[in-house]
Amino acid sequence: MAQSATAQAPEELDVVRRDLRFDFTDCDFRNWHPDGLHVAHFFNALSIFFPEGERFFMDSVRHYRDRVRTPRLSREVKGFVGQEAMHSREHRHYNEALAAAGLPIERLEARVKAHLAFVRKHRSPAEHLAATIALEHFTAILADTLLSDERILGNSDSRLAAVWRWHAIEETEHKAVAYDVYHEVLGDTRRAYGLRVVIMLVTTIDFWLRVFRSHFALVRADGALLDMGGWWKLFRFLWISPGGMRKLARPWLDYFRRDFHPWQHDNFHYVRTWLAAQGQPSTRSA
C-alpha cells in the first residue's frame, strides 16, 4: 500500500468549521460580475448544485467515519463535515435570493435533488465516496484557478466575491479529506484505483452537462439566449482570458495517476493569506 496520504498534507493544516454568514440583500444577481449576465449566471448555476451536493458529500464520508483509524484524519473528517454544512447553508441562502430575483431555482434544484436521490438508491457507498472524491477534486481545482487569478472575480460585487473566495479557501483546506478516507478504508488496490478512475470519467461528463444545462436555463429565463455578445464574453472568460476552464485540464489529468494525492499540488499559501486577512491564526493550535 502507498504511503499514508495524510502525511502529505501541510503540517499547519487545520480543517475547522467557520460559521460565516453572508448578506445577499439587494444583490444584483444578473449583473454582479463585470463580464455581464452570462458569466454571472455561470457562477449562479454552480451555486444551484451546492446545497444538495454538499449534503451528499457529507453523507458519503460519514458513512465510513467509524472505519477511519488515523487520529488526524478523524479530526479532519469532523472539520470537513462542518465546513460542508456551512457551504450548504450559505448557498441555500444564495439560491433563495436567486429565486426571489425571479429565476427558476426551485425547478433546477429539484433536478439536482432527484438525481442525487437516484444515485443514493442505485449506487453503493463505495461509489458514493468515489463520486465525492471526484467532485471534490473538481471543486479543488476550480478553487485554485479562482484564487490564483484575480481577473476571475475582478471588480465583482464584493459581497458575492467574498462568498466565492471563502468557499474556494475552504475547498482548498479540505481538498484531501474525502480522498484520504477513500484511501484509508478502500485501500490502494487495483479495484479501488479502477473505481475512482471510472467514476471520475463518468462524473466529469455528467457534472458539466448538468451545470451547463442549468446555466442555459438561467440565461433563457432572462431572455438572453440570442445575445451573441454575452455568449462570446462567456466563451472568452472560460477559455481565453482568464481562461479558467482551459487551466483545469492538467490538474484534472493528474487525478488519473496511480500515486495521485491532492496535496501534491501545495497551494496552502492561499489559505495562509486569507486567514491573515481575516485576523485568524494560520497554524494549528497544540
Q: Domain ranges for the chain, please list them.
A: 35-269
pLDDT at 278: 84
Mean pLDDT of 76-105: 97
With 50 as the cut, is the pLDDT of residue 4 above it?
A: no
- Angle, helices 125-148/37-62, rounded to nearest 10 degrees: 140
The better pLDDT of the pair 279, 128 is held by 128
279 band by pLDDT with thresholds 50, 70 and 90: confident
CB 127 within 8 Å of CB 195:
yes
Whether residue 261 is predicted with pLDDT greater than 60 in this model: the reply is yes
| pLDDT given at position 11 | 84
Average of per-residue pLDDT across 58-65: 97
Q: Residue 9: what pLDDT?
A: 80
- Residue tagged 482568464 (cell numbers): 242
Tell me what the mean pLDDT of segment 118-127 comes to. 97
Assigned C-alpha cell, 142: 476550480
The owner of cell 436555463 is 217
Specify whether the CB–CB gap between 135 and 57 falls below 8 A: yes
**The pLDDT of residue 196 is above 90:** yes
pLDDT band, very low/low/confident/very high, at 142 (cuts 50, 70, 90): very high
More confident residue, 4 or 199: 199
186 neighbors 192 (Cβ within 8 angstroms): yes
Output the pLDDT for position 2: 41
pLDDT the model gives residue 286 = 31
Examine the pLDDT at 209 and tell me if it is beyond 60.
Answer: yes
Gap between the Cα atoms of 180 and 70, Å rounded: 10
CA angle 142, 41, 138 (to 5 degrees): 20
Residue 282 — very low, low, confident or very high, per pLDDT cuts 50/70/90?
low
